[in-house]
Amino acid sequence: MTNTLITTQSPAGHEPSGAKAGAIGALVAAATFIFGIALFATSLIDYTSGDPTPAESVAFLGENEATFFVWYLVIFLVFGAAIIPLARTLHHRLRDASPQLADIGAVFAYIWAGLMFATGMIHNIGITAVGDLAETDPAQAEALWSSIDAVTNGLGGGNELVGGMWVLLVSVAAWTTKALPRSLNALGIISAISGLITVIPGLEDVGIVFGLGLIAWFAWVGVVLFRNPTPTTANAEVVR
C-alpha cells in the first residue's frame, strides 16, 4: 500500500472562475478610486477640505449637483458592481486550498458591494431631495443633508472595516496558498490593516492609506488575473 501525491492542473484555456471578468472588475475598481480621489482633490476641494457647515454644504451641493451625482455614481455604484466579479474570481482561485478563508472573504466582499450600492443610491437620491428642499426650506435641507451624511458615512464612508476584512482574508489565504504573488499579498495586508484602523475614533484619516494602497492592489490583481487566469494548483490526494 503506497501513498502518492497527485498534482492537478486546471486545463489550459479553461476559466471556470471567469478570471477575465474578475480582472476587468479589479481594473475598473482601481479606476474608480483614481477618479474619486482626483475629483476629491480638484472640483470638490472646496467641499472636501476643511469642515463645512451644513449651510455651506447645502449651498455647495446646489451649485455642483451634477458633479456630485457623477462622483457618487462612480465611487459607489460602479465600484460596487466591479468588485462582484472580482470577488467571485478570487473566491474560486482560493477555495480549494483555503476554503474557510475564501468563503468568509467572499461574504465580506458581497456585503461591501451591498453597502456601496446602498451608500451610492442614498447619496444620489438625497442630493436631489436636498436641492429641491433648499429652495423652499433651507433649514430643513440642512437637517436632511446632515442626516444623509451621517447615515452614508456609517454605511460606506466613515470607516473601511468591511472592505479591509475582505482584502485581509484574501491576502492571508493567497499568502498561505501562493495563489497570488507574495509581494502583492504583503501590499494587501498592509492596506487592509490601515482600513481596519479607521474604526478607531480619530483615526479616520488613515483611510487615505487604505485608498491609495487599494489602487495599487486592485490594479496589480487585475494584471495577475489577465496574465495568469488559470494557475497551476497543487492538491494533495492520497491514493491507496
Task: Give the predicted TM-score (pTM) of the model.
Answer: 0.86
What's the mean pLDDT when you consider all of the chain? 87
What whole-number distance in Å separates Cα of residue 49 and Cα of residue 43? 11
Res. 181: pLDDT tops 90: yes
Listed in sequence order, the DSSP H helices in 95-160 are 99-134, 138-152
CA-wise closest residue to 48 among 68, 29, 31, 66: 68
Phi, psi of 156 (to 5 degrees): -150, 10
Helix residue ranges per DSSP H, 12-64: 19-41, 45-48, 54-63
Coil/strand/helix, residue 8: strand
Q: Give backbone dihedrals phi and psi of 216, rounded to 5 degrees, phi first.
A: -65, -40
CB 47, CB 57: distance < 8 Å: yes
Residue 17: the pLDDT is 45
Q: Which residues contact 206 (CB under 8 A, 6 or more apart)?
A: 194, 197, 198
pLDDT given at position 228: 86
Q: Identify the helix (H) or strand (E) that includes residue 171.
A: helix 161-177
Instruction: Residue 18: count other Cβ atoms within 10 Å of its Cβ.
Output: 17
DSSP, collapsed to helix, strand or coil, labels residue 238 as strand
pLDDT score for 153: 87
Interval 118-169: pLDDT, tens: 999 999 999 999 999 998 999 999 999 999 989 998 887 678 999 999 999 9
Confidence check: pLDDT of 1 > 60: no
Q: Is the pLDDT of residue 240 over 50?
A: no
Burial 154-180 (b: 16+ CB within 10 A, else e): ebbbebbbbbbbbbbbbbbbbbebebb
pLDDT band at 213 (very low <50, low <70, confident <90, very high): very high
Q: Say yes or no to pLDDT of 58 above 70.
A: yes
